[in-house]
Chains A and B, each alone.
Chain A
Amino acid sequence: MGNAVIRTEHLTKVYKARTEWEFSMGHMPTRRQYEATRALSDLNLTVEQGEIFGYLGPNGAGKTTTIRLLLDLIRPTSGRAFIFDMDANAQSVDVHKRIGFLPGELNLWKNRTARQVVNYFAQVRAGANAGLILRYAQELAERLGFNMNKPVRDYSSGNKRKLGLILALMHKPDLLILDEPTSGLDPLMQQTFNQLMLEVKEEGRTVFMSSHVLSEVQAICDRVGILRRGELKAVESVSKLTHTDFRWVTVRLKEPVSVDTFKGIEGVSDVSAVNGELRFRLTGDFDPLLRALSQHYVVDLHTQDPTLEEIFLAFYGDQPVRNHNNDAAVKEQVQ
């Protein structure tokens, strides 16, 4: 730890208001009006070498915008991004030599086989020295149980994800930028993915990944940052965050009970009734709740861990950003 691999300085992206016309055969052109959107606001973020950094937030929070800015696919309205101390825009070609990227939705040439795509990417990356890359790509394909001989159009979404992972990992990049890497992977493959990421970390390489999966983030991430409405709300170590003390509880009772019955119970909040079930948030011990439930006939009861976003909100609510990077924590006030 100690060397910043990714560093952003007041990175902001505003999409301008625009009007678009859509044309389709047999229909009148339709006009779509898009308002100006502040997709990312004054992002100050540092990701250190050798860590696995989870980047979290609900849809539309700005995660993909951040990733696209880091890759120079889009340009910032203001601010700058540095990767390996190189400007992500001005030195993008040098930066990309050291990056592996997996987009949220992998799109490739549908008529080519995975092997042809892998060969092409290896050639672009290494030219005549593509052999090493191709050998490792084959090794990755075997570990992921992936057959590279089919046309891309014939792969399921899970297999496309595997192909994306192979393309991102095959040249052993110093930095992996992964957008929702495990969506579509079965649990067994998720374990393989976790193992691969831990190997990357052991080799001193860095992973920057967006995710919604708590178990995945808990298993592999060192730190997480959460975005809401384009603003970085907090950066925190996973171990600290996951020691949170609440969960969601759903109870089905034989006889209908008023929501108010549960509102006074110690630790219970956010009570709602949905489809004959009561759902609420329980903070602290179960005992007060179990004592209250003993007055009723309980048909079913189950608990659910909070999502990371919920944990973050429990921690910070709508407070300004808290970035616990290191001892020299960045404490920027988001506008």
Chain B
Amino acid sequence: MSVGLIFGDTLRQNWRQILYWGGGLGLLAVYVFIAIPDMNALQQYANLVKALPPAILEAFGMSDAEMLATPDGFIIFGVFSYGILIMAVFAVMAGMGVTANEEDDGILDMVLSLPLPRWRLVVEKTLAYLVIAVGIVAVMFIALAVGTNFSGLEIREQVHLDIMAKSAINLLPSVTLMITATVFAGAFFRRKAIAMGVVAAFIIVSYFMDFLAEVASGALSEFMKAASFFTYFNSEGVMREGLNFSNIALLLGVSIVLFVASIWAFQRRDIGA
């Protein structure tokens, strides 16, 4: 069997998602630029947000209200903090597309009657969805770069596209983690509903742990921060200090573990009902 056939087929069947998801996120970016006509409006917005409690601010993906007074900070808050949540939905749908959907629909019986090792199905489809995720982020970034033209000259001159590019790249390790976590759940559990429930719980709990850690104290706060993958996403940190390679390595490392575990789980269990 030709190497890459399933990879190519998955891409062919799903490439439109790049346009749909990337375009949707791009529209969000354009909307954010339209929402900030000048620096004065930005400062007013930052002053308003400063009054919010830290946990609420954290829930919206921002711990430093002062950053909102800068165009870069506002875009990161408006685009990437929401972008990761939107991409979480994509990641779950993509991860389910690797084995769970076809197993639930009974299609996998026919596919696995072909001369095709199970691991190959998992590997090629997962890689295809990761490529699609990269495509979505690329389209989003292009839309964001184009979207700067919708804001005033003052704002446009202060937007740093290199920071935006790093923030876009910073989405990918977290999306990879969410995709592989979903692939693992789909490979481990035979029932799609259970797999989806488990991975949704994982993402939601991680999200709440990340911002509730702000109101917790001491060891509990430390634990909650450390246990939530959103901590390692840290879009604010990317704006201040650039990409954090230890965070990226950690997220990708866990993704690889989940990916290998998915292959192991799918290889050894019964398929279907």
Contacts and interface: CB of A to CB of B under 8 A. Distances in A.
B115 interface: yes
Contact of A120 (B9, B194, B269): B9
A124 B6 CA distance: 8
Contacts of A124: 1, 5-6, 114-116
Instruction: Pick the 3 closest A-B CB pairs, nearest first.
Output: A107-B106, A101-B113, A74-B270
Given A120-B9, A124-B115, A127-B5, A106 B110 contact: yes
B1 A125 contact: yes
Contacts of B272: 68, 73-74
Interface string B1-32: 11001100100010000000000000000000
B253 to A, nearest CB: 31
A96 B197 contact: no
A281 interface: no
Interface in A68-110: 68, 71-75, 92-94, 96-97, 99, 101, 103, 105-109
Interface of A: 20-23, 68, 71-75, 92-94, 96-97, 99, 101, 103, 105-109, 120-121, 123-125, 127-128, 167
B107 A107 contact: yes
Contacts of B106: 103, 105, 107
B270 to A, nearest CB: 4
Contact of A123 (B2, B112, B197, B271): B2
B205 interface: no
Contacts of A22: 193
Contact of A97 (B6, B115, B191, B271): B115
Contacts of A93: 115-117
A333 to B, nearest CB: 28
Contacts of A21: 193-194
Contact of B197 (A23, A108, A127): A23
Interface string B51-62: 000000000000
Contacts of B13: 109
A73 B2 contact: no
Given A73-B270, A120-B9, A125-B114, A109 B107 contact: yes
Contacts of A73: 109, 112-113, 270-272
Contacts of A96: 113-116
Contact of B109 (A20, A99, A107, A109): A107
A128 B3 CA distance: 11
Interface of B: 1-2, 5-6, 9, 13, 105-107, 109-110, 112-117, 191, 193-194, 197, 268-272
Given A21-B194, A73-B271, A128-B2, A108 B110 contact: yes
Nearest to B3: A127
B115 A23 contact: no
14 contacts: A20-B191, A20-B194, A21-B194, A22-B193, A68-B272, A71-B112, A73-B112, A73-B272, A74-B271, A96-B113, A96-B116, A124-B5, A124-B116, A125-B114
Given A73-B270, A107-B110, A124-B116, 19 more contacts: A20-B191, A21-B194, A23-B193, A74-B270, A75-B270, A94-B115, A96-B113, A96-B116, A99-B113, A103-B106, A106-B110, A107-B105, A107-B109, A108-B110, A120-B9, A124-B115, A125-B115, A127-B1, A128-B2
Contacts of A123: 2, 5
Contact of B107 (A68, A97, A108): A108
A19 B266 CA distance: 20
A125 B1 CA distance: 6
A177 to B, nearest CB: 8
A103 B107 CA distance: 10
Nearest to B197: A23
Nearest to B105: A107
Contact of B110 (A23, A74, A75, A103): A103
Contacts of B194: 20-21
A107 B272 CA distance: 12
A108 B109 CA distance: 9
A20 B193 CA distance: 10
Nearest to B111: A124
Contacts of A71: 109, 112-113
A68 B270 CA distance: 9
B123 to A, nearest CB: 14
Contacts of B9: 120
A121 B114 contact: yes
Contacts of B116: 93, 96, 124
A107 B271 CA distance: 14
A20 B189 CA distance: 11
Contacts of B197: 23
Most buried by A among B2, B9, B105, B114: B114
B107 to A, nearest CB: 5
Nearest to B120: A93
A71 B111 CA distance: 11
A152 B52 CA distance: 54
A36 to B, nearest CB: 14
Contacts of B113: 71, 73, 96, 99, 101, 103
A72 B105 CA distance: 18
A227 B6 CA distance: 38
A92 B121 CA distance: 14
